[in-house]
Structure 1
Amino acid sequence: MTSAKDTMPEAPATQAEPQTQPHPALTRHPQHVPLVEQTRDGLVESVHYGSFIAIDAHGRTILEAGEPDAPMYPRSSLKPLQAVALLRAGLDLPENLLALTAASHSGAQMHRDGAAEILKLHGLTEAALANSTDLPYGVGEREAWLRDGNGPTQLAQNCSGKHASMASVCVINGWPVEEYLHPEHPLQVLVRDIITDLTGEEAAAVSTDGCGTPLFAHSLHGMARAYGLLASAAADSAEGKVANAMRRYPEMVAGEGRDVTALMRAVPGLLAKDGFEGLQLVGLPDGRGVAVKISDGGDRARMPVTVQILRELGVDGGSLEPLKSPPVLGGGQSVGELRAALFN
């Protein structure tokens, strides 16, 4: 077998090759529509635009708004798909650590210890990680971390579980660990191919995510398809193993007090993952998939529209009401709301 080092071009390990001919759809603004509005005493104070789609198990559109076929960067909502690729490449972990592999975690002790354990299981240390350094993502976790006199580290960064597993897969396959983020490394080629298979579409563009991982542009339609496939997959498949691990350990996927963790706890069988810049993905056990993109990247707008879409799909039996949105306050009293705009 030819070694990856023999075939890889000379290029920085953490940078994707720049595109000289961008996809035509990337040079214009997608046709987003108003999705979420904040009111204050009946007056609409601000509006978040975006797009979404909900599809059935056959890929047929149930609900949509805006331009769900426009390419966008799914950011961390790609992590469950990347985890599928890692399992197909030989990764074998306890379910809690597999959930951490697909996580944008809060940086709690259990998350940092989990990432360290993945490395230890494969004879690695934190020195093998190539992700960026950061403080814990969770507010409470970050405050406690700083009170203890700590600074940014790779284990505390919210993608450390994914990176620990990527480095570990290189050990399993005899691939060079130190170059595991290079877009032509055999690991990243496999990840790209698996994402293409699950979304049913080729990447429209390639960039680099905040943690340093190659980042592929796909449509909301393609991402909804992928999440429907994961959520409905057989338990013994790579897709089913990732989905079940995330559903059984939602606190490892995000953290206590995080809306994605609460969403998976609220609806049995539901698979959920967020992503920076206003992404929310949901898969349902019957194969339906939901994908939401808030155009301004506003994190607060993800959940109101996601909850309303799930209600329109007949998913909510009242369990999602606490997740809909926090109240808009005036003098400590509720004077408005953050609400889905299209369903009023």
Structure 2
Amino acid sequence: MTQLAAPPRIGVPAHEPLVHLLRDGMVEGVHHGSVVVLAPDGSTLFAAGDPDVAFYPRSTAKPLQAAAMARLGLRPGPAGFAIAAASHSGEQAHLGAVRALLGPIGVDALRNPADLPYDPEERDAWLAAGRSASQLAQNCSGKHAAMLRTCVLRDWPTEGYLDPRHPLQTAIRETVEDLTGAAVARTAVDGCGAPLFAISLRGLAGALARLVTAGPETPDGLVAAGMRRHPELVGGSRRPVTALMRAVPGLLAKDGFEAVTVAALPDGTSVAVKIADGGLRALRPVVTAALARCGVHLPSGRTDLQVTGSLAARGRDDAGRHAQE
């Protein structure tokens, strides 16, 4: 393993104003955040805010966690890798993919919290059918199913698989550090109960770039290929992250709670975004503007949300990377 850089510093992020909410031409609200755009060689094409401070990547770390399990020998096929890296919506296809990944282990072994489906329409239908919250329906169940399968594969105990000292979590941490190139700054507990490793926004962008450019038969490449082949499993039929991957050929992308998104193009150009207040309203315009810096031009969406500052400058022109939703 390459020698790791020091962990990112821990402190209050120096976020910058990225988006203005306008009403009749006057600024009514301001969203702060940080963004970084990296070239294929890892150099900085653009940065705003504080992309080098430690932060919690939340579910954008799932592709990295899936890569760790692939490195440990997990081979569930493309759909299995997609659901392992997913924050799924709870649609029937998602529940079936989780069950298939669990195989003979069974749903009762899952240790993620019970919840209703993430997608509002699926949630309403679930409640109308008289169903209660379940671990299967919770949006992280695919990751937990993959963790259990990996434990069985490696002959590790499934009990306590979420403990940071468990050999599975130790291996995942090592892979996260390898992919980001820096030591983890802090270990916390994510909303699903799994260890959550604090990294930098820059490290996250670079890590996804490594996945998307990995050889097709390597563990990292298998995860990226599975996610790109099954974007509907990574999010859902009504989810922005799924629409984004469908709109841009070859793009690998993952969303996360607290308004985090990371994406990487096939050549390794990558972007990572964090909106300071965790609100999703500002996320699309910032991701759209960041991708424009890579030559990918998507519809900007709401006209009352205006990207501000240097991020609003026109991205490089690349006719081969224009995309429409």
Q: Provide TM-score, normalisation by structure 2.
A: 0.91
| SS of residue in 2 equivalent to 1:46 | strand
* Cα deviation code 1:47-93 (max 9, x no counterpart): 11001101112211000001100000000000000000111112111
Match of 1:338 in 2: 305
Counterpart Cα distance in 2 of 1:313 and 1:66: 18
Q: Structure 1 runs of 4+ off > 2 angstroms?
A: 23-26
| SS of residue in 2 equivalent to 1:38 | strand
Q: What are structure 2's unaligned runs of at least 5 residues?
A: 1-6, 314-325
1:182 positional shift: 0.6
1:24 positional shift: 9.3
Please say if 1:308 is aligned against 2:289.
Answer: yes
Counterpart Cα distance in 2 of 1:138 and 1:245: 22
Partners of 2:17 and 2:32 within 8 A in 1: yes
Q: Which of residues 260, 277, 285 in structure 1 aligns to 2:241? A: 260
Please say if 1:45 is aligned against 2:28.
Answer: yes
Match of 1:90 in 2: 73
Partners of 1:181 and 1:214 within 8 A in 2: yes
Match of 2:114 in 1: 133
Q: Which of residues 261, 266, 271 in structure 2 aligns to 1:290? A: 271
* Cα deviation code 1:100-153 (max 9, x no counterpart): 000000000111111111111xx2111110111111111111111111111110
Partners of 2:8 and 2:200 within 8 A in 1: no
Residue identity (%): 50
Counterpart Cα distance in 2 of 1:277 and 1:179: 27
Q: Which of residues 22, 33, 36 in structure 1 aligns to 2:16? A: 33
Match of 2:197 in 1: 216
What does 1:137-286 correspond to in 2, within 5 Å?
137-286=118-267
Partners of 1:305 and 1:339 within 8 A in 2: no
1:199 positional shift: 0.3
Q: What are structure 1's unaligned runs of at least 5 residues?
A: 1-22, 328-335
* Structure 1 letter corresponding to 2:54: P
* Cα deviation code 1:188-210 (max 9, x no counterpart): 00000000000001111110000
Tell which deviates more after alignment, 70-79 or 43-52. Answer: 43-52
Q: Provide TM-score, normalisation by structure 1.
A: 0.86
1:94 positional shift: 2.2
* Cα deviation code 1:210-257 (max 9, x no counterpart): 000000000011011001111111111111111111111100000011
1:39 positional shift: 1.3
